Amino acid sequence: MTKQESMVLIDQLKLVFDTVRLVDVSMTRQLSIGGCGEFVAEPYQCYAIWNKNSRCDNCISAKAFSCKGRLSKFEFVDDDIYHVTAKYIEIDGTPYILEMVSKITDKTLIGAYGKNEFIDTISNYNQRLYTDSLTGANNRHYFDEQLFGLASIGALAMIDVDNFKEVNDTYGHLVGDAALCAIVDSISSCMRGSDKIIRYGGDEFTLCLESIAKADFFNMLERIRKKVSEISIEEAPDLRLTVSIGAVCQPLTAADALKEADKMLYIAKAEKNCVRLK
């Protein structure tokens, strides 16, 4: 649709919904219409509407953006419940998300559970949706639906367990599972609160950071490599684990960062148990 058509649509939707807003998902920005009819980025991130200081882990707009469709979810602010619908639209060829928000006041909707039980049920579902059931890390769906559409990721690392098939073949899958859990614990102990660890494949993990100095990132990855090498599995005391890490530290889209880190991982795996950072 054209910009003029979108402005008319937003005005009409405001008659139905409590909040209607246009979101640039790639920049996590909310847009408003300026005095001259142009789109202007608000001086705050889009998640500020939910009283949050960082990007939502279950961002419905990012998910709708990735599938170019329309999706809905419940959002909670203190004791208030909101129903959010996010719809992918293109305005003059530029992709955006149109968010429509309604506050839930219908007691019949939550009467069967009670308000607190309803909030807990939905929150637990949202958490399970993007959590790897074995390791507790974020899963591949989280990367594909929540991070892949971002305009910029500050740093990204691909972490691959060396010779993991031999671990399963020699010690069995139960020991292999314990090893993967221990590796995630080791990675997590070196991360900052805003960093994200994703189980990208069976024995491959992706570490995503909003921003970090290159030297600090290298030191973090070296600490991860060292801590993994110190892991001891009770059921297999002679097992020694190592990882190879390929990484990139520069503002790139998630797709480009993943591609560059994968190239560096290819080099790291040829040498085994080392860090290669671009």
Distance CA 268, CA 215 (A): 18
140-277 shares the fold of 3-129: no
- Strand blocks (E) in 111-256: 155-161, 196-199, 204-209, 243-248
Distance CA 66, CA 59 (A): 11
The domain over range 140-277 is classified in CATH as 3.30.70.270: yes
Torsion of CA 126, 129, 135, 137, to 10 degrees: -70
Q: How far is CA 267 from CA 53, 154, 163, 166, 256, in A?
A: 37, 21, 15, 21, 17
Q: How far is CA 60 from CA 33, 82, 132, 146, in A?
A: 23, 13, 19, 8
Determine the straight-line distance between the first and last CA of the chain, rounded to whole angstroms.
41
**pLDDT for position 106:** 63
Mean pLDDT across the stretch 126-152?
Answer: 83
Q: Where residue 2 falls among pLDDT bands split at 50, 70, 90?
A: confident
**pLDDT for position 142:** 86
pLDDT tens-digit readout, 73-82: 888 887 788 8
Q: Is the pLDDT of residue 123 over 80?
A: no
Mean pLDDT across the stretch 210-225?
Answer: 94
Mean pLDDT across the stretch 63-87?
Answer: 84
pLDDT tens-digit readout, 251-261: 998 889 999 99
CB 136 within 8 A of CB 180: no
The CATH fold of domain 3-129: Beta-Lactamase (3.30.450)
Can you give the pTM of this predicted structure?
0.70
Lowest-pLDDT range, 51-65, 110-124, 165-179? Answer: 110-124
Distance of CA 155 to the CA centre of its chain: 14
**pLDDT for position 112:** 54
Q: In what order do the strands lie in the sheet with 155-161?
A: 196-199, 204-209, 155-161, 243-248, 275-277
Specify the amino acid at residue 38.
E
Q: Is the pLDDT of residue 184 over 90?
A: yes
Q: Is the pLDDT of residue 119 over 80?
A: no
Q: Is the pLDDT of residue 278 over 70?
A: yes
Q: Where are the domains of the chain?
A: 3-129, 140-277
The pair of three-digit structure tokens given for residue 173, joined into one six-digit string: 């899958």
Lowest-pLDDT range, 25-39, 97-111, 175-189, 236-250? Answer: 97-111
